[in-house]
Amino acid sequence: MQLLKILTPLVTASLLATAAPLVQAQNQGDDSVLEMQQAFRKGDRKRLEQLLPAVRGHVLEPWAAYWELKARLTEASPQEVQAFLQRYAGTYQEDRLRNDWLLLQGQRREWSQFAEHHPHYRMSDDREVRCYALLIEQLTGVASSGLADDVRRHWYGLREADDGCTQAASQLFAGKRFAALDVWRKARLAVEANRPRVARSAVEIVAPELLAQLKDLQDNPLKFLQARAASRGALRQELALLALIKIAATDAEAAASQLDNRWDILLTSEERNWAWGVIGKQAAQRLSPDAMAYFARVTRDSDLNDDLLGWKVRAALRAGQWKAVPKAVDAMGDEARKDSTWVYWKARALLAGKPTEPERAEARKLLEGIASTHGFYEQLALEELGQRITPPAAPTPLTPAEKAVARANPALQRGLYAIGLGLRTEGVREWNYATNLHSPGGMGDRELLAAADLACQREVWDRCINTSERTRSVTDVSQRFPMPFRSTVVERSQGIGLDPAYVYGLIRQESRFIMDARSGVGASGLMQVMPATARWTAKKIGLTSFTPEQITDRDTNITIGTAYLKLALDDFAGSMPMAAAAYNAGPGRPRSWRNGPLLDAAIWAENVPFHETRDYVKKVLANTTNYAAILTGLPQSLKSRLGTVGPRDMAALDVNKDLP
């Protein structure tokens, strides 16, 4: 025993001496990796080449090698690319580089190289790559019957100008597999989204002689319409429709006036319906009471796309015109009709008024098809069926062997290491690829639970939540709805009269519990507080010693964030949907969005004009209901948290009119 006491310090010192160079080398490798990321972002190819040897053997070597080759990919040889793919076979970086290489070969029209690599491309999530593959099918005469539909879907789904889908569309149009209307509809979508380059590329396919007129139209659509004689002609009609769409984007009434006074009788029924659909959508986004009157001018819902039909449903809900809802939903495409949003509202519409027994039966079947605790409309469907929100039973506990497999997964380890090093974007991509079904040995539910558990244990909460959310047959609420910093959140919330479940529901949506999260507009921390909001709130609650840099401190962030949320909740008379909207979009917008009829808050939330805020409000409230069920152990109601929303005398009742 005495000898052991003598030897132990010596052995320990020896081990530390041996480990020190390894730790130092790893730290130096970390520094080199970080420097390489910065060099990659700057396009500094020389520095990337110099640093790469220092990263050999590092856990993030695949990223370093990817950056170095990607930076010079346009000059790399096929042999260099193949060597990289072989060395890093099975990794995210292999598939990422293959994606980049496929795009490059498509742009170069190197179809043999493209065809060689495409079968090995696992992610298959790049629309342009898919369009190049479909283009090859068209060029080689082996196209399937669904090729045109595939190209159309991918082309319409791209908001920015691209080469692959545009070339595929051009070939299909030349081969008479695309009608002129297919191409003009792409131009319509581009003009509405204010994407002039995309519109130009579409018009160049179908009517290149009109490009000069298209520019005039985009520059001044009203002047363009007024300068054209009101005469018939397919090309003139399509340009007139593009001009009307452009006008409607900023002034729905002016577009409606032009359509009524001149162009209505000159357009085809399909063009006219599309024009009224766009005008109706723009009016609906401005919460105008005229929206349904515009949509009523549409004589055939099937002439509208899913986006326009969605806005028709929203306008009908806001106007209380329930009969219009099922018709619009039924006109949507297969995928949209299955969306829980439209399934729920169709069911509610069928139950409105005095439903027949067949209508009741159909509504019940629709609700049963989506009812669960997983989302906003899924929870509302449960309640329509007479049930409440309770946490699902916990899955069978993970075994030590299942956890060990997750810990041994090199891609998961790389992802966690990158995140820990501050390379969050790279780490998240690596992690998502590792847990994706398209990756080698794609994960089933048990593997996903084990991966989520690994992320939870490392307190990488966003990967814990997002990974667990992807399980299909089981639900682990402890992973999907974790409660980090519980004592601080609960004590602070209850101390100022806030429901802790509401705070957790908001944090989960704002930051996924990432303490150093920072948004593109400068919001920081767990509760994503803007600097100006932090200063205003600190002053409001008497936090006199507050300085801007404190907002990244966990406890200070929670203190400021919960205080601001409470002020917003008080300002909107306890309305959780409106306070959540104010937290996301600022209080001024919800004040204007509440004007109009008294609405079920679910209808109000669905009519929020901003997609981000609309989605945010629904997710925060669904999160809140789940957290309440977990925290209290009692069945919960989402409907009770929604209530109604309507106008009020803002000057008399707003208690915090100066909310920033």
Give CA–CA dist 512/200, Å, rounded.
40
Q: Which residues pair with 518 in a beta bridge?
A: 524
Cα end-to-end span (Å), the chain: 70
Distance in angstroms (rounded) separating the CA atoms of residues 596 and 461? 40
3-state secondary structure 487-526: HHHHHHHHHCCCCHHHHHHHHHHHCCCCCCCECCCCCECC
Cα atoms in the 13 Å half-sphere on the side-chain side of 502: 26
CA 311, 316, 318, 319: dihedral to nearest 10 degrees? 140
Q: Is position 510 annotated as part of the catalytic site?
A: yes
Q: In the numeric block, which tokens belong to residue 419? A: 């995140």
Instruction: Identify whether the C-beta of residue 315 lies closer than 8 Å to the C-beta of residue 596.
Output: no
**C-alpha pair distances (Å), 69 with each of 35, 75, 123, 653:** 16, 9, 20, 62
Cα angle 614, 620, 623; round to 5:
140
Q: Are 583 and 567 in contact (CB under 8 A)?
A: no
Residues 6+ apart with CB under 8 A from 653: 573
Give the C-alpha separation, 342 to 328, whole Å.
9
State which amino acid sits at residue 656.
Answer: N
CB 76 within 8 A of CB 65: no
Of 539, 537, 517, 535, which is closest to residue 526 (Cα–Cα)? 517
Q: What are the Cα distances from residue 214, in Å, to 240, 242, 257?
A: 10, 9, 22
Q: Catalogue the long-range contacts made by 198-201 (C-beta closer than 8 Å, 24 or more residues apart).
A: 198/158, 198/159, 198/160, 198/161, 199/242, 201/161, 201/166
DSSP class per residue in 204-232:
HHH-GGGHHHHHHHHH-HHHHHHHS----
Question: Residue ranges of the alpha helices (H) in 306-409?
Answer: 306-319, 324-330, 334-337, 340-351, 357-370, 376-384, 400-408
Which residue type does 433 have? Y
User: Considering 335, 510, 549, 606, which one is annotated as catalytic?
Assistant: 510
292 with 315: CB under 8 angstroms? yes
Cα distance between residue 205 and residue 550, in whole Å: 55
For residue 659, give the 3-state DSSP assignment.
coil
Residues listed for the chain? 660
Three-state DSSP class for 389?
strand
Beta partners for residue 257, in sequence order: none
Residue pair 300/271 in contact (Cβ under 8 Å)? The answer is: no
Rg (CA), the chain: 29
d(CA 171, CA 161) in angstroms, rounded, equals 17
Q: For residues 563 and 494, give the distance between their C-alpha atoms in angstroms, rounded to a whole number.
A: 11
Catalytic residues: 510
